Amino acid sequence: MSTKLWGGRFTQPTDQFVEEFTASIGFEQRLAEFDIRGSKAHAAMLGRQGIIETEEADQIIVGLDGILRDIDAGKIEFSVALEDIHMNVEARLIERIGDVGGKLHTGRSRNDQIAVDVRLYLRDEIDTLVEYLEKLEAALINQAENNLDIIMPGYTHLQTAQPVLFSHHVLAYREMIARDISRLLDLRERFNVMPLGAGALAGTTFNIDREWVAEQLGFSGVTRNSLDSVSDRDFAIEFCSFASILMMHLSRLSEELILWSSSDFDFVELSDAFCTGSSIMPQKKNPDVPELVRGKTGRVYGNLISLLTLMKSLPLAYNKDMQEDKEPLFDTVDTVKGSLKIFAAMIAEMKIKGNNMRIAAARGFSTATDVADYCVRKGLPFRQAHEVVGKTVRYCVENNKDIPELSLEEFRSFSKLIEKDIYDYVTLEASVNARKATGGTARSAVEHELSRLKK
């Protein structure tokens, strides 16, 4: 006779390899706390509703508390033969308190049980991730505030385009991180509804109080359709989608840090704590942390695709395929959490080489657009002004000069509209500070934005 908790229907034992192949306890162990948290609320509700005796509910809750203490102390060895975290906990509960432990599963299924476990787990992880994201936000804001007057080249196509404040550049990433936080909080609100009580797929015949259990577990409400409750994992997919967008942002910043810390740019210096050396070249200081974050982005993308592919053809309701949802989700949580934890500290300790940034900003004709804008203000149509400045730049290239180095006569050889006041517009500071509109790179605009963010 089978010793499985579900073994009444079966006359043959499960093949040993099938046991190992189908078991999920290897990666579900991290759900133990959440499984027990949900089970305690469920047991209390069963007693409260008179479905089991109040004393039995209390006995179950005490037993579950003891099991969690033993798990935390490393005293429990999980069994592959018991398949998953639910069966491992329940079997030990029955061992501990006797047949009363078997009453815990009244009015629920492993299908709705795992759905609530994962939501409880992910909700806690999201709260931690929000803290890490806010630390990264703070690190970016502090770098902007501490380096407010540093001018650097702004790029398009990785070619020098216009001068910008370094603080403005850094705050661009803060905007991205702020949207990531917003996406994460939206997701948390959307999935914070409780599926427990949906049963295997059709609900339960017992007079359970789902709303009371939801309140005990901190959910904002309950799911409204039992089939949907157990058969979808869109919240996990949405989390991996959020994570992919976040990692894309971190990867872009990582790419810039890698470039900026190279000897060719030499814009920043990363702390030794976040770099490694070469086994053969003693002069090397390799930016391993941003390189790894950039590399791990592909891993998170892969987890998103895995979940989308997993769910794309599943009929309602639960299917064993859905056991494969947890490893990509867990790996994504771990990867994002680790990346954020180390990234915030790295940004906070990064040193900015303002003089090198300024020298680079002065190259590449970064104030050419300002000459065009100047000509427009003098009455020249923009397209004609564009052509005038294009010819001016070509002259500078041929004569190895930069735009601010041109004499007034040289300027006027391209347009008689240019006056002596042109020099008030072609310095780096003038170019930057002319862009005062909300969201611009002018010092006044960036100061205003920093003030707003600090409030």
Is residue 18 predicted with pLDDT exceeding 80? no
> How many Å apart are CA 51 and CA 106, to the nearest integer?
8
Is residue 324 predicted with pLDDT exceeding 90? yes
Token readout for 426 is: 């072609």
Residue 101 has a pLDDT of 97
Confidence of residue 2 (pLDDT cuts 50, 70, 90): very low
Is 157 among the catalytic positions? yes
User: Can you list the domains of the chain with their CATH numbers?
Assistant: 14-106 (1.10.275.10), 111-207+216-359 (1.20.200.10), 363-454 (1.10.40.30)
Confidence of residue 11 (pLDDT cuts 50, 70, 90): low
Q: What is the mean pLDDT of residues 137-164?
A: 96
Token readout for 75 is: 């005293």
Is 278 among the catalytic positions? yes
The active-site residue out of 2, 262, 278, 451 is: 278
Tokens 């990433």 sit on residue? 173
Residue 17 has a pLDDT of 67
Q: What would you report as the CA-atom Rg of the chain, rounded to the nearest whole angstrom?
A: 31
Is residue 7 predicted with pLDDT exceeding 90? no
Q: What is the mean pLDDT of residues 185-194?
A: 97
| Rounded-to-10 torsion of CA 68, 69, 71, 77 | -110
The active-site residue out of 157, 263, 313, 407 is: 157
Is residue 78 predicted with pLDDT exceeding 90? yes
Q: What is the mean pLDDT of residues 425-430?
A: 93
> How many Å apart are CA 80 and CA 248, to the nearest integer?
37
Confidence of residue 19 (pLDDT cuts 50, 70, 90): low
Long-range contacts made by residues 418-424, C-beta under 8 angstroms, separation at least 24?
Answer: 418/374, 418/375, 418/378, 419/378, 422/371, 422/374
Confidence of residue 13 (pLDDT cuts 50, 70, 90): confident
Residue 23 has a pLDDT of 75
> How many Å apart are CA 172 and CA 439, to the nearest integer?
10
Beta-bridged to residue 193, according to DSSP, are: 221
Q: What is the pLDDT of residues 92-126, one digit of tens each?
A: 999 999 999 999 999 999 999 999 999 999 999 99
Cβ within 8 Å of residue 435, ≥6 positions away: 441, 442, 445
> How many Å apart are CA 121 and CA 291, to the nearest integer?
29
Closest CA to 149 of 168, 135, 127: 168
Is residue 302 predicted with pLDDT exceeding 70? yes
Q: What is the mean pLDDT of residues 410-430?
A: 94
Chain CA centroid to CA 445, Å: 28
Confidence of residue 1 (pLDDT cuts 50, 70, 90): very low
Residue 22 has a pLDDT of 66
> How many Å apart are CA 183 and CA 180, to the nearest integer?
5
Q: What is the pLDDT of residues 334-373, one digit of tens each?
A: 999 999 999 999 999 999 999 999 999 998 899 999 999 9
Is residue 321 predicted with pLDDT exceeding 50? yes
Confidence of residue 284 (pLDDT cuts 50, 70, 90): confident
Is residue 8 predicted with pLDDT exceeding 90? no
